[in-house]
Amino acid sequence: MMAVNRQVTRHSYRVCTGLYRPLSCSSSVSMVQKVLVRPPQDVPGAEGQAEFFRAGIGGFFQERPMLKNPFLEDALLQGYLRRHLPSEAVYSDLRVFGERLVREVDGWGRECEVTPPRLVTYDPWGCRVDRIVTSPAWQRMKDLSAQEGLVAIGYERSYGEWSRVYQMCKLYLYSPSSGLYTCPLAMTDGAAKVIQSLGVSWPVADAFSRLTSRDPEHFWTSGQWMTERRGGSDVGNGTETVALPQSDGTYRLSGFKWFTSATDADMTLTLARVTDVDGQTTSGSRGLSMFYAAVRDEQGMVQGIEVQRLKDKLGTRQMPTAELLLDGLPAHRLSEEGRGVACIANMLTVTRIHNSVSAVAGMRRVLQLARDYATRRSTFGKLLRDHPLHMQTLARMEVETRGAFLLVMEVCRLIGREETGHASQLETHLLRLLTPVAKLYTGKQAVAVISEGLESFGGQGYIEDTGLPAMLRDAQVLSIWEGTTNVLSLDVLRCVSRSSGLVLQAYFTHTQSLLAAASLPSLSVAVRSVDSALSGLREFLQAAALTPPSFMELAARDLAYSLARIYMGALLIDHASWEGASHSDAYAALRWCEQDLCPVVSKAAIGCYNMKTPPLDAALVYEESTRD
């Protein structure tokens, strides 16, 4: 290394032409000889050897990966839209938006990351103000979200049942450049959905028009305050916030919300227990009701809220997340008393879909950067793209991303059909089942794929100001918030039992219909794999029906993974069978179906859900050393 530096330094003196080039500029390999170092005699006031001068640090600077129009770079997205939503207007909007993302928005996203929000608790005169100060870029994101209709598209429904797909495709492009603004948008969309499902009337008619507005002046975002100190997952038992009825029919909320995301929102939906005349509340889920509250008064001051502090998080640092003391927050009850969880579940469905969109968007973004980088970085005498092992790694990431994309779009298609009254009973069941499945599976995939993606940049993937580490940090939350992997696996079991197995029937029927339509001989191996996994799953479930519930609880995560992998396989096959599909579509389907598509069967076969395993698992986890 030293030898190289010395050599380049000597050389720099030789080629100097008196021009300067900033070191930070990305020079190509061919420009190496032109990187200039100021010779000592150029230093003002210096004769001969300068006392101080810019050291020779070598002439090679690696070209950075370039973000290109994410719409034009995405073959699967374009193919999917050509197949399902062949609208020139949609295509053109996404292409222009993709250009805007590259030109300006991606830079704002970075600005949000490096200028995190801060809390101003007091004004200079000692008055409590609890102001959350966000970066100008964060505020520009809000205006952009309204202008681009990132929530509105889903409610305008200009494309009927495909409007949700259109909206989510746009969010998918936006997400990795958004500086996490997709988080408030997810909750805003979820709140609009809840209000719409309850009926848009007083006191939330104005709020609904704001949440779904394209006018930046009118647009509002919403929070979703569910998490308390005792309950992140177990909301039913952990919620301590109480709602005191007022004589005018409104309520005052008092409690402590432990984890409120995007706390600069204009309004929120939240849960609390209504007190009776004796001040008593009902415990458990049945005691929870859902409330609407405006966060600030007309002067822009928070009302009935103290912002205790902002959270210091691993990622999502762009976005304010706060602990809030509710101290008599004025609120309106929207749900029936005791129906809070069921009512806010509509919001959870939407935010979980957004979560899945963000997961697949993160995977796609890291791949786009990695494949560009592979055309710019040379190692061992050739470009990365010419190393078969490197291409194999990127191809595996691509297969994961394609499977995830198709699953997420399937859920978006289903919610679009449900919202426009086109969904059959089967599709409604499928939507209920696939929402937690997609959320839990893509959350895990995103962490794995993005982590692998960072590795494809070598050490640079670990360097903060490349922007790459933030992608991994931000992905890590996707499997945590909106229900952890295990909570969502249990949600899968819950919807199976609450529907008396109808959601599974819908799953089997639809997966089989996807396979039945696949006629390409080149896909037959993949079709056989999915078919056999499906049969294995059916047999497993029939046998499991005779076991105690604790068996299925142990199998819940593997069951959810099996549902995801099989369904993704069927979707990849289905997409590859479309007349406009490419060879790569077929290849992706084949590769996907090479894995264990039904881990719940293979794990059951080796006794993983045997009743002897829980104490053994616990003993393993808590084994103590007996040696001194």
Q: Write down the least CB distance from residue 592 to ligand MFK, Å.
A: 25
Residue selected from 128, 229, 498, 538 as contacting ligand MFK according to rule CB under 6 A: 498
Window of 25-33, 65-73, 180-188, 454-462 that interacts with ligand MFK by CB under 6 A: 180-188
Q: Write down the least CB distance from residue 494 to ligand MFK, Å.
A: 5
- Nearer to ligand MFK by Cβ, of 61 and 219: the residue is 219
Residue selected from 141, 183, 433, 533 as contacting ligand MFK according to rule CB under 6 A: 183
Q: Write down the least CB distance from residue 246 to ligand MFK, Å.
A: 26
Strand-pairing partners, residue 379, are: 382
How far apart CA 526 and CA 508 sit, in angstroms, is 17
Q: Write down the least CB distance from residue 76 to ligand MFK, Å.
A: 20
Give the three-class secondary structure for 170: helix
Residue selected from 482, 558, 574, 585 as contacting ligand MFK according to rule CB under 6 A: 482
**Residue 494 engages ligand MFK in binding (rule: CB under 6 A):** yes
**Residue 419 engages ligand MFK in binding (rule: CB under 6 A):** no
Residue selected from 76, 150, 187, 366 as contacting ligand MFK according to rule CB under 6 A: 187
**Residue 349 engages ligand MFK in binding (rule: CB under 6 A):** yes
Window of 39-47, 68-76, 340-348, 516-524 that interacts with ligand MFK by CB under 6 A: 340-348
Window of 193-201, 337-345, 580-588, 608-616 that interacts with ligand MFK by CB under 6 A: 337-345
- Which residue has the closest beta carbon to ligand MFK? 285
**Residue 341 engages ligand MFK in binding (rule: CB under 6 A):** yes
Q: Write down the least CB distance from residue 186 to ligand MFK, Å.
A: 4
H-state helical runs in 29-135: 75-84, 88-100, 106-114
**Residue 5 engages ligand MFK in binding (rule: CB under 6 A):** no
Strands 267-274 and 222-225: parallel
Residue selected from 120, 205, 342, 525 as contacting ligand MFK according to rule CB under 6 A: 342
**Residue 348 engages ligand MFK in binding (rule: CB under 6 A):** yes
203 upstream amide cis, omega within 30 of 0: yes
Q: Is the dihedral of CA 240, 245, 251, 252 positive or negative?
A: negative
Residues 249-268 that bind ligand MFK (CB under 6 A): 261
Q: Write down the least CB distance from residue 469 to ligand MFK, Å.
A: 19
**Residue 233 engages ligand MFK in binding (rule: CB under 6 A):** yes
Residue selected from 163, 222, 355, 442 as contacting ligand MFK according to rule CB under 6 A: 355
Strand-pairing partners, residue 223, are: 268
Residues 89-108 that bind ligand MFK (CB under 6 A): none
Give the three-class secondary structure for 25: coil
Residue selected from 85, 101, 186, 271 as contacting ligand MFK according to rule CB under 6 A: 186
- DSSP notation for 547-569: S-HHHHHHHHHHHHHHHHHHHHH
Residue selected from 70, 109, 403, 483 as contacting ligand MFK according to rule CB under 6 A: 483
Tell me the per-residue interface mask from 202 to 231 with ligand MFK, x by CB under 6 A, - otherwise.
----------------------x-xx----
Residue selected from 236, 328, 330, 469 as contacting ligand MFK according to rule CB under 6 A: 236
How far apart CA 185 and CA 221 sit, in angstroms, is 7
Window of 125-133, 199-207, 341-349, 409-417 that interacts with ligand MFK by CB under 6 A: 341-349
How far apart CA 620 and CA 229 sit, in angstroms, is 29
- DSSP notation for 224-282: EE--BSS-SS-HHHH---EEEE-TTS-EEEEEEEEEEESTT-SEEEEEEEEP-TTS---
Q: Write down the least CB distance from residue 141 to ligand MFK, Å.
A: 13
Q: Confirm if 460 and 62 have CB atoms less than 8 A apart.
A: yes
- Nearer to ligand MFK by Cβ, of 128 and 498: the residue is 498
Buried b (16+ CB within 10 A) or exposed e, 302-327: bebbebbebbebebbbbbbbbbbebe
In one-letter notation, the amino acid at residue 387 is H
Question: Which of 540, 553, 429, 413 has its CA nearest to residue 495?
Answer: 429
Q: Which 8-state DSSP code applies to residue 104?
A: I
Number of residues that bind ligand MFK (CB under 6 A): 28
Q: Which position has the token pair 């008619």?
A: 205
Residue selected from 119, 345, 391, 502 as contacting ligand MFK according to rule CB under 6 A: 345
CA dihedral 417, 418, 419, 422 (to 10 degrees): 50
How far apart CA 469 and CA 606 sit, in angstroms, is 38
Q: Write down the least CB distance from residue 301 to ligand MFK, Å.
A: 24
What residues contact 466, with CB distance under 8 A and at least 6 apart?
64, 457, 460
Angle (nearest 5°) at CA 123 between 117 and 125: 165
Residues 356-375 that bind ligand MFK (CB under 6 A): 358
**Residue 322 engages ligand MFK in binding (rule: CB under 6 A):** no
Window of 23-31, 108-116, 157-165, 352-360 that interacts with ligand MFK by CB under 6 A: 352-360
Residue selected from 210, 273, 354, 377 as contacting ligand MFK according to rule CB under 6 A: 354
- Nearer to ligand MFK by Cβ, of 187 and 530: the residue is 187
- Nearer to ligand MFK by Cβ, of 135 and 358: the residue is 358
Angle (nearest 5°) at CA 40 between 37 and 42: 85
What residues contact 547, with CB distance under 8 A and at least 6 apart?
none
How far apart CA 174 and CA 177 sit, in angstroms, is 6
CA dihedral 197, 199, 202, 205 (to 10 degrees): 70
Residue selected from 177, 351, 445, 577 as contacting ligand MFK according to rule CB under 6 A: 351
Structure tokens at 362: 């993160």
**Residue 25 engages ligand MFK in binding (rule: CB under 6 A):** no
- Nearer to ligand MFK by Cβ, of 384 and 433: the residue is 433
Residues that bind ligand MFK (CB under 6 A): 182-183, 186-187, 224, 226-227, 233, 235-236, 261, 285, 341-342, 345, 348-349, 351, 354-355, 358, 481-483, 487, 491, 494, 498
